[in-house]
Structure 1
Amino acid sequence: MTEQLTGERTLTRITTKQQLGPDAQVDDKALVFVPTDPALTDPFLALVEDWFSTPGFEWHPHRGLETVTTVVDGVLEHGDNLGHTGALQAGEVQWMTAGRGIIHRELAYRDEHAHVLQMWLNLPAEKKLTPSRYQDLTKAAMPRVHAPGVTIDVHAGTVGGVTGATDTHHPVQGVVATLDPDAIYDLQVPAEHRLFAHVMNGRLLIGGRELHAGQTGWSDPVTRRSGDNGGAPAATSLHLAAVDPEQPARVMVYSGTPIHEPVAMGGPFVMNTKLEITKAFADFHAGAFGPVPRQARLAYDR
């Protein structure tokens, strides 16, 4: 039998989010990570934190990627040109596959307050033009793992025998873990995945390094040791420990298999070549994504 690799993950690099302040769309914005070198974060492209009331993000297109939006606080109102509308509360997630092309908007419900973390997840070339879709992960239906002092919302993949509700186009595991003071948890992660752990609140020991709110740690895929004869690597583990004796901690941990393909970006489009970006803009302006919706805002009855 082939020996399979096991072991504990360590962090190879740590970054701190960059606070940008208000702009024409938001009350405040922070860049957690951006695609300055997509190979370093593959398959993840960006993670941006936004606080907004009005105007928010009115109708705009996407192609060739998935956006994963986690509501941190407030209520997010959304709609698209496939006819989907709704409102998501704190702890809920919208997983949007832009695929061949979608037009959508993201607003603060009643123009009051929305605080979100939005991640851009790349799609492999063969899935760039897959049909567009929405998947909403509500609190009521959220799969969860419970351990002493620990609650884990499972967005995607399987953790502790619990499988997330998201139907993914590429191997991805995603969770948000909340740990009480002094609680610990060993999160199983496929060895072939690159992972990031973004601390949303509190302080945590993650893979042997202490991180505080606003910091993100990265761990690259674990390769086989010399002498291994092949076979699928086993899962590795990422050790999480809340180190503040008085405050709980919350961390977003996503991992995925690197795609190892060229990345071309142009505004809201992510493809493999600049020619494909040019075609995406041409298709959008020619109406290939469909008309810009004229949907009214959601009724104020929530």
Structure 2
Amino acid sequence: MTTPFAGQRTLTRITDKQRLGPDAQVDDKALVFVPTDPALTDPFLALVEDRFSTPGFAWHPHRGLETVTTVIDGVLEHGDNLGHTGALEAGEVQWMTAGRGIIHRELAYRDERAHVLQMWLNLPARKKMTPSRYQDLTKAAMPRVTAPGVRIDVHAGTVDGVTGAADTHHPVQGIVATLDPEASYDLHVPPEHRLFAHVMDGRLLVAGRELRAGQTGWSDPATGPAPTTLHLGAVDPGEPARVMVYSGTPLREPVAVGGPFVMNTKTEITRAFTDFHSGAFGPVPRTARLAYDR
């Protein structure tokens, strides 16, 4: 085993996604990671893979977090009680800030199919009650980095001088990279960030360790201020690889999770449920299904 160069990220652990299968809302569900121990994944709370046709996720509330939904296949229809509606195609991202409270839904357009990865990103305590909002990162406006055999969609942060379209409340860098067979790339990551690299397709060397589709490698913040890089390399000579890499500065704050709400204390969770049921989030919309034609 070779010793990594100074500034080169290493993986502290590797996890496998857990497939749960169908339930009342989806055709298939898998848990990439969940907030069993939030300190281990801080500032990231969960990453869940869903395939659904009908019914999908009808109107439901959120508070105190952001949901970042990447469409892998099909078309995701969404709407909220702030009046936002839309549809996202494969490769596009919905970045929703729940903040003080929002009611939204996520459906498969025409009840056909949607295959998504949804991440829950924690908000700092001082931003828990920030105004709610939607940001749609479409393919047409997606900032990209290209290198020999490598294509990178930049969702957030700045990579090789290219800045993602997401306006974030906390330092976060997020990409999806596609690497041709045997191509490689060194991704610069702020040293203070914790990162995860989730392999979506193929086989990939991540920081010198081979990961297959469905596995996630984690790298904790570096101890010094020197710049760090994460080495990515497609392993299979006949198959490309695709990987989602997100990194962010840990919040190091208490985490309380109650259903769709993420706050800092159980008292705040109780208040979130009280506010929702009293109508403080606003009325549940009665918006008709989307007539979509892009």
TM-score of the superposition, structure 1-length normalised?
0.95
1:299 Cα shift? 1.5
Q: Which amino acid aligns with 1:156?
A: A
CA distance in 2, matches of 1:122, 1:235: 24
Does residue 284 of the first structure (1) align with residue 260 of the second (2)? no
**Residues in 1 aligned to 2:264 and 2:292: alpha-carbon distance in whole angstroms:** 42
Q: Which moved more, 1:270-279 or 1:291-300?
A: 291-300
Aligned to 1:75: 75
Matched, 1:96 2:88: no
Q: Percent identity over the alignment?
A: 86
Provide, for residues 210-263 of structure 1, a one-character-per-residue CA deviation record: whole Å limited to 9, x for no partner.
Answer: 000000000000012xxxxxxxx2320000000000000000000000000000
CA contact (8 A) 2:87 2:292 kept: no
1:145 aligned counterpart, secondary structure: strand
Deviations 1:51-78 (A, max 9, x none): 0000000000000000000000000000
How many correspondences in the alignment?
A: 290
Structure 1: 5+ residue runs without aligned partners? Answer: 225-232
Please list, as runs of the form range in 1=range in 2, the aligned pairs for 1:139-218 lying within 5 A after superposition. Answer: 139-218=139-218
**Residue correspondence of structure 1 range 8-47 to structure 2 within 5 A:** 8-47=8-47
Question: Aligned to 2:267, what secondary structure does the other structure show?
Answer: helix
Query: Which amino acid is 2:238 matched to?
Result: E
The answer to whether 1:250 aligns with 2:242 is yes
Separation in structure 1 between the aligned mates of residue 270 and residue 50 of structure 2, nearest angstrom: 28
Are the counterparts in 2 of residues 110 and 300 from structure 1 also a CA contact under 8 Å? no
Q: What pairs with 1:269-280 in structure 2 (closer than 5 Å)?
A: 269-280=261-272
1:236 aligns with 2:228: yes
From 252, 264, 280, give the equivalent of 1:260.
252
Per-residue Cα deviation, 1:32-63 (whole angstroms, up to 9, x for no partner): 00000000000000000000000000000000
- Gap regions ≥5 residues in structure 2: none
Give the match for residue 230 of structure 1: none
Secondary structure in 1 aligned to 2:21? Answer: coil
TM-score (norm 2): 0.98
Residue type at the aligned position of 2:170: H
Provide the rounded CA distance (Å) in 2 between the counterparts of 1:266 and 1:221: 28
Say what the alpha-carbon RMSD is for the aligned residues: 1.0
> Structure 2: which amino acid aligns with 1:293?
P
**Could you tell me how far apart the structure 1 residues matched to 2:262 and 2:79 are?**
21
Amino acid aligned to 2:283: P
Q: Which amino acid counterpart does residue 288 of structure 2 have in structure 1?
A: A
Q: Distance in 2 between matches of 1:234 and 1:174?
A: 20
SS of 1:199's partner is strand
CA contact (8 A) 2:184 2:233 kept: yes
* Distance in 2 between residues matched to 1:42 and 1:208, nearest whole Å: 23
Q: Does 1:84 align with 2:84?
A: yes
TM-superposed CA distance for 1:264, in Å, is 0.2
Distance 2:52 2:227 in 1: 39
8 Å Cα contact 2:31-2:47 kept in structure 1: yes
Distance between the aligned counterparts of 1:146 and 1:99, measured in 2?
34
- State the Cα distance separating 1:208 from its structure 2 match: 1.0
* Counterpart-to-counterpart distance in 2, 1:297 and 1:180: 39
Q: Which residue does the alignment assign to 1:49?
A: 49
Report the 3-state secondary structure (helix = DSSP H, G, I; strand = E; otherwise coil) of the residue aligned with 2:9: coil
Runs of 4+ off more than 3 Å:
none
8 Å CA contact 1:6–1:235 kept in 2: the answer is: no
- 1: CA distance, partners of 2:47 / 2:292: 30
Check if 1:60 corresponds to 2:60.
Answer: yes
CA contact (8 A) 2:201 2:241 kept: yes
- Mapped partners of 1:87, 1:100: distance in 2: 24
TM-superposition CA deviations, 1:154-202 (whole Å, max 9, x none): 0000001100011000000000000000000000000000000000000
Distance in 2 between residues matched to 1:299 and 1:62, nearest whole Å: 25
**Structure 1 CA distance for aligned equivalents of residues 16 and 164 of structure 2:** 28
Cα distance, 1:116 vs structure 2: 0.1
Q: Answer yes or no: is the 8 Å Cα contact 1:9–1:239 preserved in 2.
A: yes
Q: CA deviation at 1:300?
A: 5.1
